[in-house]
Chains A and B, each alone.
Chain A
Amino acid sequence: GEDVEQSLFLSVREGDSSVINCTYTDSSSTYLYWYKQEPGAGLQLLTYIFSNMDMKQDQRLTVLLNKKDKHLSLRIADTQTGDSAIYFCAESIRRTGNQFYFGTGTSLTVIP
């Protein structure tokens, strides 16, 4: 499968910004997505970015895409304890019929 990599763990203090990083290998990605998974639950779509965009902002979330380096990041401003969860990045690849390839997930812990 395609390689989509994320660091496994991140801890931040409540009120600080969190930055979750993701690298991918396939340059034919069409869209890139961020999902959130809370314990015992399915994945919840947070946001997405089209592959020809550099940045997308949605309230406390900012997505940055560096297509040259195949690097995607998710910034969460004013992180709250309710943001504690596992965050997955995913890419959809046109040549595979827009199948999704997920990263391994980053477990975010917010310290009060």
Chain B
Amino acid sequence: DAGITQSPRHKVTETGTPVTLRCHQTENHRYMYWYRQDPGHGLRLIHYSYGVKDTDKGEVSDGYSVSRSKTEDFLLTLESATSSQTSVYFCAISDGAGQGGPGSQYFGPGTRLTVL
């Protein structure tokens, strides 16, 4: 399995509080992604990074920001959490090539976030 960890694995917070989720990889992959998974929607891309300090928005980026100061860490921040951001958040990594097919993404175990 690809070396990807996410922390925390579970978090309960209140509306209006800031929340930061961390993704850490040991594979030295260039690309990192944050997705949210919701029933009936599959996975939707929030933000992604194509290198240190290089990030871009995905399909559902409103209310989220990201930072990548080191190759191995990709942080997702909810500046002021809302109940609509209750979800399971997955980090993924890719080296753009790989035995799983070019661009194949490998996923972390997920973080379950509940915003009350």
Residue ID in chain A nearest B43 by CB atoms: A102
- A24 interfacial by beta-carbon distance below 8 Å: no
> What 1/0 flags go to B73-113 for Cβ under 8 Å of A?
00000000000000000101000000011111111111000
- A43 interfacial by beta-carbon distance below 8 Å: yes
Given contacts A88-B43, A99-B58, A103-B42, contact A41 B109 (CB under 8 A): yes
Q: Is the CB of B42 within 8 A of A104?
A: yes
Q: Is the CB of A30 within 8 A of B103?
A: yes
- A20 interfacial by beta-carbon distance below 8 Å: no
Residue ID in chain A nearest B44 by CB atoms: A1
- A9 interfacial by beta-carbon distance below 8 Å: no
Interchain nearest-CB distance for A11 vs B (Å)? 19
Interface of A: prevailing SS: strand
Q: Is the CB of A33 within 8 A of B101?
A: yes
Interchain nearest-CB distance for A67 vs B (Å)? 17
> What 1/0 flags go to B32-46 for Cβ under 8 Å of A?
010100001111110
Residue ID in chain B nearest A105 by CB atoms: B42
Q: Is the CB of B58 within 8 A of A31?
A: no
Q: Is the CB of B41 within 8 A of A104?
A: yes
Q: Is the CB of B40 within 8 A of A42?
A: no
> What 1/0 flags go to A73-112 for Cβ under 8 Å of B?
0000000000000001010100001111011110000000
Interface, chain B (partner A; CB < 8 A): 4, 33, 35, 40-45, 48, 50, 56, 58-59, 90, 92, 100-110
**Other than the known A42-B108, A99-B58, what 15 A-B pairs have Cβ atoms closer than 8 Å?**
A1-B44, A4-B42, A31-B101, A31-B103, A41-B109, A41-B110, A42-B107, A42-B110, A48-B101, A48-B104, A88-B42, A88-B43, A99-B45, A100-B105, A104-B42
